[in-house]
Amino acid sequence: MATTIQTSPPDSGPRRGLPRWAWVLVALLTAVALVAVAVAVFAVRGRTVVHPAVPPSPAASASPSRSASPAAATLADGCLGGVAELDRAVLAAQRQAALTPAGAASFTATVIRWAFAGPPPPYQQVTAKQVLTDNASSAARRSLSSTKDLAGSTGGVDFTDGKYYVESFDGDSAIVSYVGGANPTLNGVPQGAVLLSGAVHLEAVNGTWHYRDLTSERSIEDLQRIGVPYSGGC
């Protein structure tokens, strides 16, 4: 369950000796500190969004709107490649993911699990040579957790309750927006649930998906409303 943060003093008023603005300032600083811990583990130096986890709003539809690229009949797998060590999992997912909308969404989930893991997978920089395209953006390259100093923060992304939305697909490229959950820790202390969202840009190279860019196409609220649930996660 996500942590609830009270951002204003109780109705009874602040304790004697401290003005009301001081209590508001303390509450705001507490909220900023909690979000900063989540960012230290999962935030990407691109446009990935990190928010405290909230219950999803009721879906307006069980499938994407007609403005999206055609959706596959089979739901995407949020645990493609399995729960094995993530360097092996992402390479397995790359081999297994079909060049279909659902395949692109499945590979997206594994890429995010692999890229944002803390501590980083031991061979992430080597594996990246097979996962990234040759023209991968700086945002994609900086998204790898091995490029960051996590400073005692750990965690992983889980798509058990995640959703995806295929923004575009033409067989040779795809853009998949996603939202997943995480429960980061700082020096072993749980920091509360957060939701992460972004959009992974993929290109088909020699018959397999490769990771080209990371941006943000939609808000978490949009994805919770129109996104397609993953068939499972890990």
Query: Between residues 60 and 201, which one has the greater pLDDT?
Result: 201
Query: Between residues 30 and 222, which one has the greater pLDDT?
Result: 222
Distance set, CA 231 to CA 72, 102, 105, 160, 175 (Å) = 13, 10, 11, 8, 19
pTM of this structure: 0.74
Q: What is the DSSP string of 142-178?
A: HTSGGGS--TTEEB-EEEEEEEEEEEEE-SSEEEEEE
Condensed to tens digits (0 to 9), the pLDDT of residues 21-59 reads 444 333 433 333 333 434 444 544 334 445 555 444 443
Count of Cβ atoms closer than 10 Å to residue 73 Cβ = 9
* Residue 76 burial by Cβ neighbours in a 10 Å radius (0-12, 13-18, 19+): buried
Q: What is the rounded average pLDDT of the residues 72-92? A: 91
The pair of three-digit structure tokens given for residue 54, joined into one six-digit string? 């909230």
Distance set, CA 128 to CA 18, 69, 92, 117, 143 (Å) = 53, 28, 13, 14, 11
b/e per residue 188-216 (b: at least 16 CB within 10 A): eeebbbbbbbbbbbbbbeeebbbbbbbbb
Condensed to tens digits (0 to 9), the pLDDT of residues 87-140 reads 999 999 999 999 999 999 999 999 999 999 999 999 999 999 999 999 999 999
The Cα 160–Cα 230 span in angstroms is 7
Q: Helix, strand, coil: what percent of the chain each, to 5?
A: 30, 25, 45
How would you classify the pairing of strands 173-182 and 185-186?
Answer: unpaired
The Cα 203–Cα 170 span in angstroms is 10
